[in-house]
Homo-oligomer: A and B are copies of this chain.
Amino acid sequence: MSEVFLKDALVTLKESGVRITPQRHAILEFLISSEQHPTADEIYKALEADFPNMSVATVYNNLRVFRNAGLVKELTYGDSSSRFDFVTHDHYHIICDVCGRIVDFHHPGLEEVEHLASHVTGFKVNSHRLEVYGTCPECAS
């Protein structure tokens, strides 16, 4: 399953003229396999063993490359550092107020909200962002 995502991602990159380097391959692979929405630093640390000489800048640079290619979404919450999420299909996030864990969930798109917003404000709507906050089962017990 995740193999397919990786292959598709590599094709997407190649088509937009981006070179596939071992570092890029590894960052993508880690992002896809990770269910944890990691920060740039977490990615950096996770790949330290395989790439002892890799620079943090490489991680940031490539996350930006992936984001521009539409492969990765950057999630910004109140805390200090961004988290990165490999884009598979549309899903929303629910975030635990206690431990910060981010869990995916699916919900039909909110077109009606987009329509209303467009109607009221006169904006031409492109997209929306929705997050739900609460307490995860582990922290609740």
**In the bound complex, what is the Cα–Cα distance between A110 and B128 (angstroms)?**
14
Partner of A129, one of B103, B123, B127, B133: B133
A130 within 8 A of B: yes
Nearest 3 pairs between A and B by C-beta? A125-B134, A123-B134, A122-B137
7 contacts between A and B (CB under 8 A): A92-B113, A103-B121, A103-B123, A107-B116, A110-B113, A123-B136, A127-B134
Chain A contact residue count (CB 8 A cutoff): 38
Binding site for B on A (CB under 8 A): 74, 76-78, 82, 92, 94, 96-97, 103, 105-107, 110, 113-114, 116-118, 120-137, 140
Partner of A123, one of B123, B127, B137: B137
Task: For residue A36, give the distance in angstroms from its CB to the closest CB of chain B.
Answer: 15
The contact of A132 among B78, B97, B125, by CB within 8 Å, is B125
Nearest-Cβ distance from residue A78 to partner chain B, whole angstroms: 6
**A92-B117, A105-B117, A105-B121 given; 18 more Cβ-contact pairs under 8 Å:** A76-B78, A94-B117, A96-B123, A103-B123, A105-B120, A106-B120, A113-B130, A118-B134, A122-B137, A123-B136, A124-B134, A125-B132, A126-B135, A127-B133, A128-B132, A128-B133, A129-B132, A129-B133
